Amino acid sequence: MGSPGLLRSLLELTKARITFFVTLSVATGYLLFAGQLEAAMLMPMAGVFLLSCGSAALNQLQEWRIDAQMARTKNRPIPAGRIAPEWALLLVILLIGAGLYLLALVEHHVYVVLGLGVFSVLWYNGVYVLLKRVTAFAVVPGALLGAIPPVIGWCAAGGVVTDVGMLEVAFFFFLWQIPHFWLLSILYGREYEAAGMPTPSRYLDEGQFRRVTFVWILAVAACALALAVTRGLGLPWNAVVAVVTIWLVLISLPILRASADRKTALQVFLRLNLYALVVMLALVLDVLL
């Protein structure tokens, strides 16, 4: 395999695009406490990035036989034979080790930051991986993973893990994870079922599941508006949150239609992710500017 092909395989194995978003949530937590850009924020960001890459690679190592049974995932590096499981395991050890090492170098609350990092790996690659093989609703406890990175950033900047202001932000990321994953289930539910994975379709018909997903999207929107109020966002950032929240609700309505298809679910999925990014930016820019 040439260098470009190897690089693409490594980026795919570590889900680098997703882990980059995770890194942004670390920066959000850090900046909300620090109130200014600091070089020290790069340490927890880099640590969580490497840790998340290692955890993502470990997940693919754990599930490559299942991935081989689904059209969406059969071409991932391990089931496709582009990276051997043994080499993937070595990469996992290096990435998780390097991530924890960098987290150990943060200036504040190092044991809390390290503990959260270790907990996130154990929760994702231990608890969540097992739960999603036995229950269609593993995403709810699994969504806790979305709340941890901003808390790591907050604590690394000097904040306390129990600060209400941070817990509100963490709760937003927790809520966002649920419709994020359930929209994926709408997109690829049949593939999950074919691979023997439980899906909500065991308990809900398609219309019911779309309605439940829409309710979770409304919960995310309501949480963002509450954040704008409780954090006292000023103009124009409070207006930005209000406008994009209305936009999110309106563009999500088509998912309720009986004619809604995979294209509709994909559009809502992409826009929900964009919405989370805009809310993050509004929170941060309100503090920095």
Q: What percent of the chain has pLDDT over 70?
A: 99
Q: What is the pLDDT of residues 234-284, one digit of tens each?
A: 999 999 999 999 999 999 999 998 777 888 889 999 999 999 999 999 999
- Report the alpha-carbon distance of residue 143 to residue 220 in Å, rounded: 13
Mean pLDDT rounded to a whole number for the chain: 91
- Report the alpha-carbon distance of residue 161 to residue 81 in Å, rounded: 42
Query: Which residues are within 8 A (CB) of 242 and not within 5 positions of it... i.e. 6 or more apart?
Result: 225, 228
pLDDT of 5 strictly over 80: no
Least confident of 171-175, 200-204, 212-216: 200-204
Q: Which two tokens stand for residue 104?
A: 């150990």
Q: Where in the chain is the domain with CATH 1.20.120?
A: 162-289
Q: Is 289 exposed, middle or buried (0-12, 13-18, 19+ CB in 10 A)?
A: exposed
Write down the pLDDT at residue 135: 87
Domain 162-289 in CATH 3.40.50: no
Rg of the chain, C-alpha, whole Å: 19
For residues 64-92, give the mean pLDDT. 89
Q: Angle of helix 42-67 relative to helix 3-13, nearest 10 degrees?
A: 90
Write down the pLDDT at residue 185: 85
For residues 89-96, give the mean pLDDT. 96
Q: Which two tokens stand for residue 132?
A: 């999603």
Write down the pLDDT at residue 110: 96
The sign of the dihedral angle between the CA atoms of 8, 12, 17, 19 is negative
Q: Where in the chain is the domain with CATH 1.10.357.140?
A: 1-161
Least confident of 16-20, 30-34, 219-223, 276-280: 16-20
Q: What is the pLDDT of residues 111-170, one digit of tens each?
A: 999 999 999 999 999 999 999 888 888 899 999 999 999 999 999 999 999 999 899 999
Amino acid at 104: A
Least confident of 164-168, 187-191, 219-223: 187-191
CATH class of 1-161: mainly alpha
Query: Which residues are within 8 A (CB) of 131 and not within 5 positions of it... i.e. 6 or more apart?
Result: 138, 141, 142
Cβ atoms 140, 178 nearer than 8 A? yes
Q: Is 10 exposed, middle or buried (0-12, 13-18, 19+ CB in 10 A)?
A: middle
Write down the pLDDT at residue 242: 97
- Report the alpha-carbon distance of residue 10 to residue 19 in Å, rounded: 13
Helix (H) or strand (E) holding 262: helix 262-288
| Euclidean distance between the first and the last CA atom of the chain, given in angstroms as a whole number | 47
- Report the alpha-carbon distance of residue 37 to residue 39 in Å, rounded: 7
pLDDT bin (cut points 50, 70, 90) of residue 3 is low
